[in-house]
């Protein structure tokens, strides 16, 4: 690896180091780095425990336990300068132990992690937020035998890579990341490179197994939920077409719990949310730049009284300071999967989305002009 010096138009080689010679340890350093920056492993992961030892009849403990965006458990094993011979067998044992964890147990494991390392928090809400699901009742955690393995080390022995490739060929989801520390003067750098499977091989494997995975994915609960949503959105969209609100006239039904329509401001849609326990109408500010979303929210919040007068009742204003997006919404508790309730829910959505669009329409036109001009601090 080289450092680029633009002033001299030259490159300088970074010095490859060993973790041990730098004084780094597996638990206090590599593990902590990944626990606090899991996206370094190439995807969004939610770390739910470290040094997890909650297995019956054994004192063994895995390094990091995480959830991926599909709700699958990910066992992450970290080794410093060498994997050793037994890391694969060790991780397979951990995956087998974790395969029986229930949704309730996973929530409890994450809650214990939050209480110990993060000064508390609501595990259920954070899991739902990470998986973009409206409530925990709709979340499927640790499905089937879909536990995943990740190995991180500076050096992988041949017996480890050979076994890993054999397991990949037999449908075990695993990845190997080569971790290399570099130095230039007093500056230290870390490179994480996925070596198994390589990106090209991974794409090929995804293509080969996609049909097989689709056929195996027969969870009745998930399929039933998708059917319910499709049926609900079909009725809701028909009601919107027969109303004065034309936002959703060109929108098709979906198996998702949400439908979005353009507001005239890029990446800031009006959305309908239909869950098993809640219905919601919202204006969602999700532009790529956080400061633009907060600028829009603050500008609208400064006109709160006027907007709520036009709307007809108080709204829920969620700036969400710790997140990129912000939203303005109104929610309603429901029993969404009782079809007898659908006419009432749909009428509520039509009325309130019509009111929300009317209350924000002129404000959004003015804000959109400022955004296009690059003004985000007036």
Residue 83: the pLDDT is 75
Residue-wise pLDDT for 2-47, tens only, equals: 889 899 999 989 999 999 999 999 999 999 999 999 999 999 999 9
* Domain span at 155: 2-216
Q: Which long-range contacts (CB under 8 A, 24 or more apart) does 126-132 make?
A: 126/46, 127/46, 127/67, 130/44, 130/46, 130/67, 130/69, 131/67, 131/69, 131/71
Domain boundary among 190, 216, 242: 216
Instruction: Judge whether 377 lies within some domain.
Output: no
Q: Which of 230, 352, 226 is nearest to 279 (CA)?
A: 352
Which segment of 106-120, 217-231, 309-323 scores lowest on mean pLDDT? 217-231
- Co-location of 199 and 226 in the same domain: no
Cβ neighbours of 53 (radius 10 Å): 10
- Co-location of 211 and 250 in the same domain: no
Residue-wise pLDDT for 194-207, tens only, equals: 988 875 545 544 44
Q: How far apart are the first and last CA of the chain?
A: 44
Q: Which of 248, 229, 228 is nearest to 238 (CA)?
A: 248
Indicate if the pLDDT at residue 208 is higher than 50: no
Q: How far apart are CA 327 and CA 320, in angstroms?
A: 8
- Co-location of 227 and 361 in the same domain: yes
Sign of the dihedral through C-alpha 36, 38, 44, 46: negative
In this prediction, residues 161-172 reach a mean pLDDT of 87
Cβ neighbours for 248, distance < 8 A, ≥ 6 positions apart: 237, 240, 241, 259, 261, 272
Domain count, the chain: 2
Instruction: Judge whether 378 lies within some domain.
Output: no
- Co-location of 33 and 11 in the same domain: yes
- Co-location of 144 and 278 in the same domain: no
Which segment of 32-46, 156-170, 346-360 scores lowest on mean pLDDT? 156-170
In this prediction, residues 179-189 reach a mean pLDDT of 91
Instruction: Give the SS3 label for residue 48.
Output: strand
Q: What is the mean pLDDT of the chain?
A: 90
In this prediction, residues 78-91 reach a mean pLDDT of 84
Task: Tell me if 54 sits within 8 A of 109, measured CB to CB.
Answer: yes
- Co-location of 10 and 131 in the same domain: yes
């Amino acid at each position: 690896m080289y450092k680029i010096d633009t002033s001299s138009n030259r490159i300088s080689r970074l010095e490859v180091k060993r973790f041990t010679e730098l004084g780094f340890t597996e638990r206090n350093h590599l593990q902590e780095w990944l626990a606090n920056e899991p996206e370094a492993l190439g995807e969004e992961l939610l770390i739910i425990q470290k040094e997890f030892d909650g297995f019956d009849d054994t004192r063994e403990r895995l390094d990091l336990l995480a959830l991926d965006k599909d709700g699958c458990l990910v066992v992450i094993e970290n080794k410093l300068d060498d994997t050793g011979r037994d890391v694969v067998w060790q991780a397979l044992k951990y995956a087998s132990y974790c395969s029986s964890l229930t949704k309730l147990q996973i929530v409890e494991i994450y809650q214990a992690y939050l209480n110990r390392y993060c000064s508390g928090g609501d595990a259920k809400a954070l899991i739902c937020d990470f998986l973009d699901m409206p409530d925990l009742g709709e979340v499927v955690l640790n499905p089937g035998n879909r536990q995943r393995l990740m190995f991180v080390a500076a050096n992988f022995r041949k017996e480890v890579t050979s076994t890993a490739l054999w397991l990949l060929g037999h449908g075990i989801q695993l990845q190997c990341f080569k971790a290399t520390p570099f130095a230039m003067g007093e500056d230290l750098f870390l490179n994480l490179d996925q070596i198994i499977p390589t990106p090209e091989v991974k794409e090929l494997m995804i293509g080969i197994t996609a049909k097989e995975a689709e056929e195996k994915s027969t969870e009745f609960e998930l399929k039933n939920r998708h059917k319910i949503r499709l049926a609900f959105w079909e009725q809701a969209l028909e009601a919107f077409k027969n109303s004065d609100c034309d936002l959703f006239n060109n929108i098709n039904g979906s198996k998702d719990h949400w439908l979005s329509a353009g507001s005239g401001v890029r990446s800031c849609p009006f959305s309908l949310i239909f869950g098993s326990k809640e219905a919601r109408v919202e204006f969602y500010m999700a532009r790529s730049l956080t400061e633009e979303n907060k600028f829009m929210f603050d500008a609208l919040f400064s006109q709160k009284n006027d907007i709520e007068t036009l709307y007809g009742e108080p709204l829920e204003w969620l700036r969400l300071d710790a997140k990129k997006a912000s939203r303005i919404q109104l929610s309603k508790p429901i029993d969404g999967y009782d079809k007898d309730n659908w006419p009432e829910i749909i009428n509520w959505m039509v009325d309130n989305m019509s009111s929300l669009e009317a209350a924000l329409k002129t404000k959004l036109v003015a804000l959109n002009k400022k955004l296009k001009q690059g003004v985000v601090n007036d």
